[in-house]
Amino acid sequence: MPNLDNQKNRLTSSEITSLWAQYIQDTMSVCISKYVLAKVKDSEVYSLFEFTLELAEKLDLPIGFTDKGVNLDAPPLFTDTFWLVYIHEMTMHGLAGYSISLSVSARKDIRDHYYQCNIDAMDLYNKSIEILISKGIYQRSPYFSKTERGHSITEWGYAMDLFGDKRQLNSMEAGNIYFNLKKSIAAKALDGC
């Protein structure tokens, strides 16, 4: 965590906001990780949450979520597979948040902090996706055939094809649809829990 006692380099509003949001998210991560470690049986998922806990416990400063916020004796809420997908999805959100926080920070110690947060989150992302792939759980986005040559878009009809000729989706559109569909399926599955 950056040194916040340095009076000559006051924090900006965006730096304060991003530090506080990260702190709350990380203290929540400690509670969830401790609960998962008490319940999960899959050794790879266990190892992943041990790593997550190690990263999140490097914190100090204000009180966010604490051990009082989690009941380790509660029965398991979800499967090991759920927790594996959960940590992977949360890491993607963390990567996005850390990148934004880095980009709105001016102080070097704050930027250095988010730089390291990004590296740690990338390590966690790589570990989680490798386990997902090894277990056959990870679903890749759609593949596209290679075109012979690039095409320039010269007509408005490409973007406004609601009433005209239908066209194939481009890779960005297909990827976005896939990503949002994946989130919808996960949310619907949780709705039944």
Unique residue bearing structure tokens 């996005």: 96
The pLDDT of residue 192 is: 55
The mean pLDDT of 69-97, rounded to a whole number, is 90
pLDDT for residue 183 is more than 80? no
The pLDDT of residue 130 is: 96
Q: How far is CA 146 from the centre of its chain?
A: 30
Residue at 145: amino acid letter: S
- Rounded Cα distance between 39 and 30, Å, is 14
The pLDDT of residue 143 is: 78
Tell me the pLDDT tens digit for each residue of 134-167: 999 888 877 777 766 766 777 666 666 556 667 7
First to last CA, the chain: 37
pLDDT for residue 174 is more than 80? yes
Confidence band, pLDDT 50/70/90 cuts, at residue 55: confident
Q: pTM above 0.95? A: no
Q: How much is the CA Rg of the chain, to the nearest whole Å?
A: 21
* Cβ–Cβ < 8 Å for 61, 4: yes
* Cβ–Cβ < 8 Å for 27, 60: no
For residue 142, what are its two tokens? Answer: 């759609």
- Rounded Cα distance between 182 and 193, Å, is 17
Residue at 60: amino acid letter: D
The mean pLDDT of 51-77, rounded to a whole number, is 79
The mean pLDDT of 19-36, rounded to a whole number, is 88
Lowest mean pLDDT, pick from 8-17, 79-88, 107-116, 147-156: 147-156
The pLDDT of residue 123 is: 96
